[in-house]
Every structure is written in C-alpha cells, then in structure tokens.
Copies of this chain bind each other. A is one copy, B any other.
C-alpha cells in the first residue's frame, strides 16, 4: 500500500500515519521528495484498508499494491484447478458445452431439448427452474417441478445438470436435483447466497455481474472458497456498456486475464453475452480461441414459443451445426470437445 501525503504535510502528520501503520504491525518506508511525501506499507491489504487513511485530511491518496484476493489467486494454487463432476473434468484439456433452454417450461420441452443437445455433443443440460425476472408480471419459473424435470432428463440422457439458485433458502433443494449450482449475474454480490453455496458440496458456476470489475468478481469467488467450497468456475456473460446493438458486451479478454490471475476454470456464455442467436456461433468460436474451458449456450426446440430469451436461443439444428464446427476448432487449439 502506498500512501501519498499532501504537499505541506507536517512532520507530526507523517508521524501519525507512521504510528498507525506500525501499531498494526506493518513495516513502513518513507520517501520524502521536494513536492510530495510518499509512504510505503507492506503487509496485509485488509488491515491497511481498515485503517481508512484516506479519511485523514493530509493524505492525498492511498494506492493498493497487493491483490485483495488470496484463495482464488494463481499464487495460492499455481496449477490449473480441475473440477471433477461425475465423469467429466472442467479446466483440463477437454472443453465442455452446457446447453438447454433459458427456462424449464414443461416436461416435454426439457426432455426434447436434452436429447437434442446430448446428440449434438453437449455434456451438461442447462435450464432455469427459479427465474430472476425484471418484471413481476413475467413467468417466474416452475420451481421444484422444474427441478424434477431436469433430474428426469439427466436420468434419461446421462447429461449432468446445471441450474440457477436464487435464494439461500433453496440451496439444498437445488443441490439435491443438480450437479452444478449457477449463481446468476444479478446475484454475483448477493453475499448471503455466496456463503450458502459455499457450504453445499456442489460445484458452483459464478456469473459475472453486469457491472462487476474483474477484481470484484474474483472477490465474489473468494467468498465461496473462503466458505470452504473450492469447486468454483467463473462465467463471463457480458457487461453493460453504452452499445445497445448487443444485449451485453461480451468481454472475452477476461478469459486470458482470469487464467493469468487465477487457477479456476472459465466458462463463456455467448447467448446472454450477445442477446442475438446469429452472433452465438461466431462468439462461441472466439471464446474457445481465447482459451475458455467451456461454453453455456441457450438452445430451445421452438425459440419463437419460448417464454423467455427466444431471441438468443439456438434451435437444435443450428446448435448441431455449431458443435460440428467447434469440434474441429478445438483440435486446432489442442483441446477436445466434451467427454
């Protein structure tokens, strides 16, 4: 942590900062220039931040040097984390595709989709039973009935199930029926929910909040790991910007950035990331080329009848075409699709 003092800070003021830092057991270095006095304090970032030195009138600014995250950092775990789910591994050489409708709408819909995506090469079935919706007048999900249909589809197809949990109270219920719990973008900083999924034994897919910085996102993952659950996957799904042609701006540079800073796998959602089904195929390819460990894609047997997100859903046919293309691409990237 670097502390820059304002021009004209007195010896007593410098001393006071120094004392506070030393009292916290921190090692302090002082650099006095003609114009500015700069102090360096090396030690735990949280303890230094708790001092809130910027509230002192003679402190100009405090610049953090150490990263605030620990468990999610690559320094903590230099090798890539590989998450084993059923007989699949995420974060290794294989790339996994999670596919299915935005919302579970009916038994027939989810079974039809499951068979279709299984055939095309997906290894996970996605589908929301609890739906966070912008409007109170929109369909809010089938809840437990939806979870039962997902479980039935798993039994029939062998696909693993990923589904969203939106309330701490529902975590054990959702965990009973699924293989991966998804934390949606709007809940990335719902800390009560993060602490709850930290205590269930299931892997978690953590979507990036629409205006979350890389650091905030990593800190959200830190909550889950700090709570004891090390099976965390990041999911880039686009951020909110001024550009409105796309629903969100898919920030693929986060894929190599996360791989540099963290050991956890990174999944990309080109469906929410673009909001237009025509862009899903090229952006899915781009995501894999950027190094993504997997994709989560919306597929609906009849997008024009979907209760939500029909505009961004692939049909089983377009999904199959994309998967054939991705299979070829992954080989050129020295990876492999599925399995």
Alpha-carbon separation in the docked complex, A102 to B134 (Å): 29
Q: A240-B211, A311-B55 are in contact. Are A38 and B40 (CB under 8 A)?
A: yes
Alpha-carbon separation in the docked complex, A309 to B52 (Å): 8
Q: A166-B192, A286-B290 are in contact. Are A52 and B304 (CB under 8 A)?
A: yes
Let me know if B245 and A189 touch, CB within 8 A: no
Q: A38-B40, A136-B226, A167-B192 are in contact. Are A252 and B283 (CB under 8 A)?
A: yes
Alpha-carbon separation in the docked complex, A289 to B252 (Å): 12
* Binary flags per residue of A30-65, CB closer than 8 Å to B gives 1, else 0: 110111101010110010011011111000010101
The CB with the most chain B CB atoms within 10 A, among A7, A65, A210, is that of A65
By a CB distance below 8 angstroms, the chain B residues around A214 are: 243, 245
- Is A132 part of the binding interface, using a Cβ–Cβ cutoff of 8 Å? yes
- Is A293 part of the binding interface, using a Cβ–Cβ cutoff of 8 Å? no
Let me know if B279 and A256 touch, CB within 8 A: yes
- Is A100 part of the binding interface, using a Cβ–Cβ cutoff of 8 Å? no
* Binary flags per residue of A60-79, CB closer than 8 Å to B gives 1, else 0: 01010110100000010000
Alpha-carbon separation in the docked complex, A38 to B311 (Å): 19
- Is A303 part of the binding interface, using a Cβ–Cβ cutoff of 8 Å? yes
Quick one: copies of this chain in the complex? 4
Let me know if B244 and A244 touch, CB within 8 A: yes
Binding site secondary structure of chain A: mixed
By a CB distance below 8 angstroms, the chain B residues around A305 are: 52, 55
By a CB distance below 8 angstroms, the chain B residues around A166 are: 191-192
* Binary flags per residue of A328-339, CB closer than 8 Å to B gives 1, else 0: 110111000000
Assign chain A's interface to a size class. 35 or more
Q: Which of B169, B278, B313 contacts A260 (CB 8 A)?
A: B278
Let me know if A256 and B240 touch, CB within 8 A: no
Interface residues of A (CB under 8 A from B): 2, 4, 7, 27, 29-31, 33-36, 38, 40, 42-43, 46, 49-50, 52-56, 61, 63, 65-66, 68, 75, 132-139, 166-169, 186-187, 189-192, 209-211, 213-216, 219, 222-223, 226-227, 239-246, 249-253, 255-257, 260, 273-274, 277-279, 282-283, 285-291, 303-311, 313, 328-329, 331-333
Pick 8 A–B contacts, CB within 8 A, sort by A: A2-B63, A31-B42, A52-B305, A68-B135, A135-B219, A169-B169, A255-B282, A286-B287
